[in-house]
Structures are given as C-alpha cells and as structure tokens.
Amino acid sequence: MAKAEQLVFIDFEFSMPERHRVPKGFFPEIIEAGVVVVEYGKVTGTFSSYVKPTAFPKLTNRCKRFLSISQSEVDSGISFQCLIDYFNGLNDKGVAKVVTWGNMDMKVLRDNCAQTGVPFPFQAQFVDLSMEYKRFFGDQNQTGLWKAVQEYGREGVGKHHKALDDALTTQHIYNLVEKDKKYLDKAEPTTIGDRIDLSKFYNQLA
C-alpha cells in the first residue's frame, strides 16, 4: 500500500534571552509546537504542545511576556525527543512537503537536533511560504504571517504567537495562494537550504 502524501504545516515558538544579556552559549530552544496535517486537501490531524527546554530551562521575563507562556507551562511540556518521535511517526506515513512561514522554524529545529545529537526528522521538500507569498505578489519586503492573511481580506486563526493558531493560519494562506496559482503561471515554491545560519536571529535577540 502506497504511503499517504501528507502536507505538514509547522509553527514553533522559541526561547529568547533578555535584551542585551545573551548568556554564553545560548541558542533558541523550541518551547511550543503547533502542527497541522493535511491529506488530499483535508485536515486529518493537529498537534499542539509545550516543549520543555533543557539547555536553558528557565524562561526569561521577556520571553514570557512576548509569547504569553508561563514557566509552569513549559515545565509540564513534552521532551524534545517526544516531539521528534511525533515527527518520525508522520514520516512513517509519508510526508510530501513541510510548510512554514519563514525559514527560522526549520533552522531552529535543525540546530536543536544538532545540539542534542538527535537526527533531523524530515526528508521532505521544505516550503517557506513567506518567500513564495513575496514572490507571488511581488512584495518588496517580507510580509508577516497575520499581515499576509489580512491582505487577503481574511483574519488569522486564534491568537498570534500561539503555535497551533499560527500553523492553522499558515495552512489557510497556503490554500489561498494555491487557489490563486491555478489562474496564474508562477514558479515552483522556494525551498529552504540545509545550511544552518542563526546569526541574524541571534542579532535580533541581542
């Protein structure tokens, strides 16, 4: 029996240091994951969980304020290995594309895997929907997720910076773009390179 061709929409929230006080060796850890799984155009599953950080387990006040996440929520979250086990389970069923808004989600996932010595779980095509949106509509600047959906005359799903809500909103925009592409001849989606470069992200956190 052939494997299903799943589309997997992912959004992560990451830990962050206080401004101008970046601890030695700090790297962003995934502390919340939201996933939407689609088969044959239908949502067949969703996943939402806090993830317990280990390298820097105590969240900064800046992180808690910005993401509205409490220390107790991440302390009771699943382990990073459990998150990887979930992704490996999706792979067993077959994943055609992993879609994110921006390339930082996959870069941080790769980095977290490297830091913990865990194999990266995906071999699928990676689609940075923000770059496809930018190229499709000719925007000069990279558009934020919820700004993009509002430009379509719609509203985002749920709460901004809530991982599952952002994953659902990403899936919503993907559907809108794919529908429009049927009427216009556009290039193939931009794919994310394998190289890890978190320097710009670190600079934003500094």
Query: So which residues are the catalytic ones?
Result: 13, 161
CB-based contacts of 157: which residues, under 8 Å, 6+ apart? 165, 168, 169, 172
CB 50 within 8 A of CB 77: yes
Q: Provide φ and ψ at 35, rounded to 5°.
A: -135, 140
3-state SS track over the chain: CCCCCEEEEEEEEECCCECCECCCCCCCCEEEEEEEEEECCEEEEEEEEEECCCCCCCCCHHHHHHHCCCHHHHHCCECHHHHHHHHHHHHHHCEEEEEECCCHHHHHHHHHHHHHCCCCCCCCEEEEHHHHHHHHHCCCCCCCHHHHHHHCCCCCCCCCCCHHHHHHHHHHHHHHHHHHHCCCCCCCCCECCCCCCCHHHHHHHC
- Distance in angstroms between the alpha carbons of the first and the last residue of the chain: 50
